[in-house]
Amino acid sequence: MTIYFYKVWQPYGCFSNFSPHSIEIQGNYWLTVEHYYQAQKFVGSVDAVIIPIIRASKTPEEAAALGRCSSRKLRPDWDLVKTTVMREAVLIKFLTHADIRETLLNTGNEILVENSPCDYFWGCGADKTGQNHLGKILMSVREEIRKLQLLSVCSSECLENRS
Ligand SMILES: Nc1c(N[C@@H]2O[C@H](COP(=O)(O)O)[C@@H](O)[C@H]2O)[nH]c(=O)[nH]c1=O
């Protein structure tokens, strides 16, 4: 089975980057993954003044609109780093919030797809042929969290055996 998600108020809305789950990265708080992701477009760019404004946005829609404004200059390496930036933020989101971590882990090995009608990079696009990078990141984060949980079970068993 494939699990499709997109809008926050639809099923599996917590997988959307617009979901209201804050993250802390290097001492800064971001209301949503989308706030962080949009701001990273301008790190080291001549338009870096926009970063705190994006961070202070009241909603992820507002943050996305600021980050997508085509008159601003993106950092030159943005296309190279954007999936790494996204993965880090999504991993931190699911490590931070236990309830949605359970929702993610409970999807088993189902395929996760961002059902965006217009985004062929992060989502599957209108005709479902898109690259679905957000879905791929969620599946890889799901795997990573499972490994981390196994590690912590093993290390606590190990500590118990020693005492
Ligand atoms: N969920 C969701 C969207 N999808 C998100 O948009 C982001 C891509 O932004 P950009 O790289 O600027 O095109 C990325 O986080 C993707 O998951 N877009 C929306 O307008 N509304 C929404 O509810």
pLDDT tens, residue by residue, 101-130: 999 999 999 999 999 999 999 999 999 999
Model-wide pTM > 0.80: yes
What is the Å distance from ligand 1's center to 161 Cα?
48
Tens of pLDDT, residue by residue over 63-84, are 999 999 999 999 999 999 999 9
- Give residue 152's pLDDT: 85
Q: Is 17 in the pocket of ligand 1 (CB under 6 A)?
A: yes
Pocket test for ligand 1, best of 32, 33, 37 (most atoms within 8 A of CB): 37
> In this predicted model, what pLDDT tens digit does every residue of 28-51 receive, in sequence order?
999 999 999 999 999 999 999 999
* CATH classification of the domain holding 50: 1.10.357.40
Q: How far is the CA of 149 from the centre of ligand 1 (A)?
A: 29
Which is the closest atom of ligand 1 to the Cα of 86?
A: 15
- CB of 40 closer than 6 angstroms to any ligand 1 atom: no
Ligand 1 center to residue 123 CA distance, Å? 9
Of 17, 10, 35, nearest to 25 by C-alpha is 35
CA–centroid distance, 163 to ligand 1, in Å, is: 50
pLDDT at 29: 98
Residue nearest to ligand 1 atom 22, measured at CA: 7
The answer to whether residues 141 and 94 touch, using CB atoms and an 8 Å cutoff, is: yes
Residue 153's pLDDT is: 84
Q: What is residue 13's DSSP assignment? A: G
Number of domains in the chain: 1
Report, as an integer, the average pLDDT of 57-65: 98
3-state secondary structure 28-97: EEECCHHHHHHHHCCCCCCCCCHHHHHHCCCCHHHHHHHHHCCCCCCCCCHHHHHHHHHHHHHHHHHHHC
Q: Measured in angstroms, how far is the CA atom of residue 69 from the centroid of ligand 1? A: 13
- pLDDT mean across residues, the chain: 96
| Domain carrying residue 92 | 2-162
